[in-house]
Chain A
């Protein structure tokens, strides 16, 4: 069964510093995708970055990069140059692709709260 683990309940970072948010996953499917979403206090889930299990390079999207370590089954999100607006809940999620299409559902971790201090 799919499982996403986010063990950090909360983190604090100073503005302009980099921060790493941890995510480990468990799946027996060789084909899967990993996602990070941000959820501000307003409630909307905002897509940040995607990494496919067969992608050779780590995904990057502006200030966001994904440190994908397949052997360790980890997909940590790195935010460079933190901004006050980065304060939010962050969720790691996975979708199993399967050999016959897999599932469309995203399985989310419990999330972690990031607070950026001025």
Chain B
């Protein structure tokens, strides 16, 4: 499979716990994006990387959220002290710098109890 992959696909956690999600982009895609999608809504942009540099962050990305892409390949999104409002689908996408099209992974569905 040469598409964007995300792990885990589902995560159930208790309020206050920390969670970390991983995204592996399409090989050679140097841009990587994170979005959050709540029920009944379209995805909302969180942040994006070009190689290892985080170039844009949404105001949605509170200080409890942190994203990294240390070697310019895979990325992690960590949520600290989870809240019930963090329950959502977290989508990762990747693209080439020269392309406008973002290709999405299957998402990680987070449920905070």
Binding site for B on A (CB under 8 A): 4, 33, 35, 37, 42-47, 50, 52, 91, 93, 95, 103-111
The answer, yes or no, to whether B109 is at the interface (CB within 8 Å) is yes
Instruction: State the majority secondary structure of interface residues on B.
Output: strand
The answer, yes or no, to whether B74 is at the interface (CB within 8 Å) is no
Given contacts A33-B100, A47-B103, contact A110 B93 (CB under 8 A): no
User: In the docked arrangement, what's the CA distance between A33 and B41, Å?
Assistant: 20
Task: List A contacts of B109 (CB < 8 A).
Answer: 43
**CB <8 Å contact, B55 and A45:** no
B94-113 contacts to A, CB under 8 A, are: 100-107, 109
Task: List B contacts of A93 (CB < 8 A).
Answer: 42
Between-chain CB contacts (< 8 Å), 18 pairs = A42-B106, A43-B89, A44-B104, A44-B105, A44-B106, A45-B91, A45-B93, A50-B100, A95-B100, A103-B56, A104-B31, A105-B48, A106-B102, A107-B45, A108-B44, A110-B40, A110-B42, A111-B42
- Give the interface residue-count category, chain B: 20 to 34
Instruction: State the majority secondary structure of interface residues on A.
Output: strand
Q: Of all chain A residues, which has the CB nearest B43? A: A108
